[in-house]
Structure formats: C-alpha cells, structure tokens
Structure 1
C-alpha cells in the first residue's frame, strides 16, 4: 500500500472547495498529453459520481491514442464549449496560466481557482495551489486526492490514472519512477485499470500522418561534434505536407534521446515564422529545467520546454549553445 497524504494544507483546501462546489469547470494544457488527459478523465468520473456537474476545457483535441479515456466527450474547446456557469475552476497539470491558452480568460473572473500541478516553478496562480514537484505525474496527485476525499476509484478512474502515470514516467522507465510509483501502478491494476487496453490505445494506435511526419523529421537529425547533444527540426512546411497536427509531435524527441552517448535531446517545432516551440529531454544529471528557464520556459529537471520568439535557425543556434555550456559545467 502506498503512503497516504495527510488531509491538511493545500490538499485539504482543494478537497473542501471540490466538496462544496456543484458546477465545476476543469482545464488542461494545450497540446494535451497522457498525464493531463488521464487526470481530467479521472476527475470527470469521480465528480460525476459525487453528483456534481463537471465539464472540461482544452484548446486542442485529445490525440487519437487517448480518446478511449472515459468522459472525454465532455472535453470541449472554445468553439464547442456549451453555456456553463461554474462555481469552481480547477486547472490540472499546468505550470502557468498561459499553458491553458484561450481558457485563461475564465481565470480572471470571481470564480475561485484550484491549481493542481507537479511542475517545478509553478506560478501559483490559483486561490488554492496544491503543488507537488516530487510527484512523477499529476495523475498520482489525483489518486491521493481521491483517497483523501474518500472518493471511490472505479475501474474507469483506475484506467485513467494508470494512463496518466504510465505516460509521464515513460512506461515506468524514467528516473521519476519511484518504488511508490510502482506500488501505485499495482494498486491501480488491482482496482480494475484496463492495462492491455491502455497499451494498445496509447502505443499501437497512431494516425498515418504521424508516420509521415516521423519519416520526414528524422532526416533533420543533427548531433553536436562531441555526440552529447542531438536534435530534430519540425518546420511548418513539414507539418503541412505530412498533414500532422501538434499532437503528432508527441514522442518525436525520444528518437534523438535514444542515441548512444547523447545526454540532451532537443526538438524544435516551428509554430509560425517567429515562434518556435522547443522541447528538452536529458539523461543523467543534466538539468534541462535550468536551461529552459533562461528562455522563459519550465517543466522538470529532465523534461522541460520553452517558446523561442524568433526564427528556427536562431533558436537552434542559441539553445544548442546554451545546452553545450550547461554540459560543460555538469
């Protein structure tokens, strides 16, 4: 049995707000991943079971491999969000307000905001900020929330939370995987998590556009002279020709990261002519969070990101150099 979190402090306040509310609007970040989608799926299920009206907002659609998650029919964007007057707003897995995109306008009203997140350097933009940077996934925090609140973890909830934790730990392979994480995975399986369905949907269901994108992007692979930094480039033209969307870029960075001798992998994605999304992944003790912070980004020690305002060539030149400087002092 994994340790319980004490029902006090920010966790206790989060539970009190959720218990008192009757109409709850949940938010997850743009270009959603398995952790935020698993977390919001679980929250939608438990809140509905408690007799509450709950819907969720995301700027971007769920990737194909996560659409099996229960409750995502109640995940809306700005164009499809139905009329709704919430008495509580809950932001999941977002280090700052800007990560929820157009949904940020909701946070500027009089409705209280509960912020639940596991990223380093969270902006504490909520009225209640339950933050745990030691948690490998927001989904693990939602598990503790459910247990502390006395909410039943049904097979649907267990499936959602297993998906969240599995994906944010790289199938329990990343350094953020602890003994408690593995105990949690076992407990979720005992509670009915449909692990075979999760594996098939997440890892064996890809759109054709993803494979077209992958085949094009791999030709852009570059390595530093010492072989310790590797990176890929995704141009706007490549995205257009392949027919891929932003969600299809998920996981591309793992290819340069897997190269023998590489300590830091980078993915440069051209959003438009003057905006580049940059992903960072590291092995060993390299702190890519510190590098991303220099460029206004954030995340985790071994997995971070930032937005570079400028051209693709400038982004590559400046950020690769910053990584090389960091490696030189590691």
Structure 2
C-alpha cells in the first residue's frame, strides 16, 4: 500500500527490532541505504540488523559503516518485528534475502525507482528522489537523529554514487543541500570518491581493453554496445565486480544516446546494463526484458541463455525502441 513518508516514520517509531534488506548486486545507494537506516534505528534505541544476500564489492569495504551489513547466513534465525527493504523495486531484487521475510512480504519498502511495483505492507517510492539514500536522510531528519561522521559518511555514499558524483540529471538543489549538511557532520567526500572511482586494478584495465575490442557503434552513432564474456572474465581472473564502470565509458562516446553492456556472469547468465544520455527512457527497455530501474540507468538479468543470442535479441529491440522514440524526440523539438 502506497503511503506518505510521515506514515513510514510513525511505523518506524512503533517497531522495536528491525531487519533491513537491500538488493542483490549491491551498488553504492543500496549499501548506503541499508547501513544508514540500520545506524539510524540504533540511534533511536532500536535493535536493528542490515542484510544484503550477495557479496559486497571489495572497494566499498574500507568505508566506515559498510561492516554493519551482514550476509544471509549470519541472519538466519534472527527474530524481528519489522522488516524493511531498501532500493529494491520488486521482491526478486532482494534475492535470497526474501527467505528471511515473514508472510512473504516486507512490512515497509523504501525506494526511488520508477519501476517499483509496490510489494510491501507499507510502500514509499518516489522517482523524484535522486537516491534511496535521500529518502533515508529525510527520515532521519523527521526523527531528529543526530548525525556523527560515520552515519554522515555512509549516508553520503548513496547520494553521491546515484547522482554520478553530482553530475547526472537527477542532481537537484536538494541533493546539494543534503550533501553539504552531511559534509558539515563529518562526511569525507574525497574518501568516498577515491574508494568508488579510483580502485582500478591492472587486471581490470586488461579486461576493459578486451571489452573495447567488442565495442560496436550503430544507428549513426546513437547506439553503442559491448560485452564481457565469462571467458574474458575467467582469463583475466576477474568477476563482474571489475566491470562496474564499463557501461559508463560506453555511454561517454560522443553522439551515443543509448549504451548497453552485456556481462556473462556466472556462465550462461547475462546481466545487461542500459544507459542513456538525453531522451531515451531505458527503464522501459529493461522492463521489457524482466528488469527495471531509472530513466537513464537500468538493468536486467537473464538466466540460462546464450550470450550471442541474447545480444542479438536485445539489440534488435533496442534499435526498434530508438527509432520509435527518436521520432517522438523530433516532434517535441520541432
């Protein structure tokens, strides 16, 4: 049931023992939202545990607050009265974390994805928020939580990463105000940006070089795609952790409107990242293939498929989608 943020705040006040679950294939906003809400609830005197049922990329591990998040096995048998999912648009996004839920659904969901389906007892989702971490920040303000440097830093992580370090179109004035407040409370943006943006290893650079050899640009430069096969990952002793920034590099090509990256990991599972620059809503493409996300950044995963066949199928649809929406763009500007 879709409710107002004040309704969520009142429900949080009533709970005593909480479980906060993030989504699989965690990104900065996911990690930030789980850890921040866990710390906020503890500051209220509640018992709270955060969970992500997937491995957290190594380069986040040194950031203070990330260690508050536990894995699935550590929380089996944990009893609670209130469950909260964060940054997940549907229940499948929390993976095996769903096995911890009572009655098969969370008590509260917090999210900012426009593709959210509303799967909790109380749902708050609004795509006008730049990040779920922004929602968490507003909850903390409504609760009167006093921030220390640890909470400020981990909360800023989600705001910074989901705005592309304040360069994406979702970076509004509110984002800058909240970020400034968090820095005043002790958040270190340099430490966050260094961890997230400056962690490339030699093997990652070699993998990136191989990916560039697969790069294809089509449709008069509007569409670009590349892939990373399981064999490429294995050959370079990498996992999908090392591919985090690749799709952004494809999108950065001048003239490209839609960028797509295909990653085969594990074998016979293809994880697809969609990105756009100005006018294509790639979340619709992601939804078509069973995923979701944002207007400019979305994704999906398809299991038990062949990489080449999947690329052919997705690119065919992407071409059709760009043609349809380019006509709409022309009409809107003429």
Q: 2:132 aligns with which of 127, 130, 138?
A: 138
Matches of 2:74 and 2:234, distance apart in 1 = 25
Q: Which moved more, 1:182-191 or 1:298-307?
A: 182-191
2:329 alignment counterpart: none
Task: State whether residues 65 and 206 of structure 1, in contact with CA within 8 Å, keep that contact through their aligned partners in structure 2.
Answer: no
2:331 alignment counterpart: none
Is residue 2:318 matched to residue 1:323? yes
2:330 alignment counterpart: none
2:281 alignment counterpart: 287
Q: Deviations over 1:142-164 (max 9, x none)?
A: 11111112222222222112111
Alpha-carbon shift at residue 36 of structure 1 (Å): 0.9
Q: Deviations over 1:247-303 (max 9, x none)?
A: 222111011111111111001111345431111000111111112222122111111
Alpha-carbon spacing, 1:184–1:222, altered in 2? closer, same or farther (3 Å): same
Alpha-carbon shift at residue 98 of structure 1 (Å): 0.6
Q: TM-score, normalised by structure 1?
A: 0.91
Q: 2:57 aligns with which of 55, 63, 72?
A: 63
1:38 alignment counterpart: 32
Q: Which moved more, 1:34-43 or 1:182-191?
A: 182-191
Alpha-carbon shift at residue 55 of structure 1 (Å): 1.4
1:80 alignment counterpart: 74
1:264-303 equivalences under 5 Å are: 264-303=258-297
Is residue 2:113 matched to residue 1:119? yes
- TM-align CA RMSD: 2.0
Task: State whether residues 3 and 123 of structure 2, in contact with CA within 8 Å, keep that contact through their aligned partners in structure 1.
Answer: no
Is residue 2:209 matched to residue 1:243? no
SS of the equivalent of 2:108 reads: strand
Q: 1:254 aligns with which of 218, 225, 248?
A: 248
Q: 1:91 aligns with which of 80, 85, 89?
A: 85
Is residue 2:185 matched to residue 1:191? yes
SS of the equivalent of 1:115 reads: strand
Matches of 2:98 and 2:106, distance apart in 1 = 13
2:12 alignment counterpart: 18
Alpha-carbon shift at residue 9 of structure 1 (Å): 4.2
Matches of 1:275 and 1:63, distance apart in 2 = 19
Runs of 4+ in 1 over 6 A off after TM superposition: none
Alpha-carbon shift at residue 110 of structure 1 (Å): 7.5
Q: Which moved more, 1:35-44 or 1:199-208?
A: 199-208
Task: State whether residues 64 and 206 of structure 1, in contact with CA within 8 Å, keep that contact through their aligned partners in structure 2.
Answer: no
Task: State whether residues 29 and 162 of structure 2, in contact with CA within 8 Å, keep that contact through their aligned partners in structure 1.
Answer: yes
SS of the equivalent of 2:74 reads: coil
Matches of 1:245 and 1:77, distance apart in 2 = 19
Alpha-carbon shift at residue 50 of structure 1 (Å): 1.7
- Residue segments in structure 1 that go unaligned for 5+ positions in a row: 1-7
Q: Deviations over 1:25-52 (max 9, x none)?
A: 1111111111111112211221222222
Alpha-carbon spacing, 1:143–1:283, altered in 2? closer, same or farther (3 Å): same
2:307 alignment counterpart: 312
- Residue segments in structure 2 that go unaligned for 5+ positions in a row: 327-334
Matches of 2:92 and 2:55, distance apart in 1 = 17
1:172-183 equivalences under 5 Å are: 172-183=166-177
SS of the equivalent of 1:99 reads: helix
SS of the equivalent of 2:123 reads: strand
Count of matched residue positions in the alignment of Structure 1 and Structure 2? 323
1:3 alignment counterpart: none
1:104 alignment counterpart: 98
